[in-house]
């Protein structure tokens, strides 16, 4: 739901992906535009998941398993051009996606709540578990929730 601009960042001296809705201003610079081949652009920015997909970090693979209810929707989505997927015998859906920075991937996992689990990536699973515990604590702290404090 967001448009992005893939461009050379003069501040960081590297290729970056910018969310257009986050830009506050644009200005013309005296510097010449840098020509970057599509191959170099894809290698730098599209190796991992989402807007944090590039940057030279090591690419890892996350295995996500969606329950039957979520599977029917997720099976029609493209999370990444190199994703791998398969239907499991019990009706669940397994999706493997590459990532180098877990920030955006974690947000997408969390939006599926209890409909998905992270398998085969202990570090990512622990991070998601901690975020869910933190969310639970925030709800438990709300007045009038009926939860003993």
Q: Give the global pTM.
A: 0.65
What pLDDT, on a 0 to 100 scale, did the predictor assign at position 54?
A: 52
What pLDDT, on a 0 to 100 scale, did the predictor assign at position 51?
A: 46
Longest dimension (CA), the chain: 63
CA gap 83, 76 in Å, rounded? 12
Under 8 Å between Cβ of 86 and 117: no
Tell me the mean pLDDT per 10 residues along the chain, length 149. Answer: 78 78 86 80 62 62 96 92 94 93 90 94 95 93 68
Give the HSE-up count for residue 8: Cα atoms under 13 Å, Cβ half-sphere.
12
CA gap 78, 38 in Å, rounded? 21
């Amino acid at each position: 739901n967001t448009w992005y601009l893939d461009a050379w960042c003069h501040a960081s001296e590297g290729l970056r992906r910018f969310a257009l809705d986050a830009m506050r201003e644009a200005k013309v610079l005296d510097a010449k535009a840098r020509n970057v081949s599509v191959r170099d652009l894809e290698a730098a920015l599209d190796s991992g998941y989402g807007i944090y997909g590039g940057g030279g970090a090591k690419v890892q693979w996350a295995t996500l398993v969606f329950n039957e209810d979520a599977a029917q929707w997720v099976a029609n989505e493209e999370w990444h051009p190199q994703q791998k997927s398969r239907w499991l015998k019990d009706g669940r859906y397994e999706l493997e996606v590459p990532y180098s920075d877990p920030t955006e991937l974690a947000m997408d996992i969390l939006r599926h709540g209890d409909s998905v689990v992270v398998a085969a990536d202990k570090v990512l699973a622990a991070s998601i578990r901690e975020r869910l515990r933190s969310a639970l604590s925030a709800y438990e702290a709300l007045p009038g929730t009926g939860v003993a404090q």
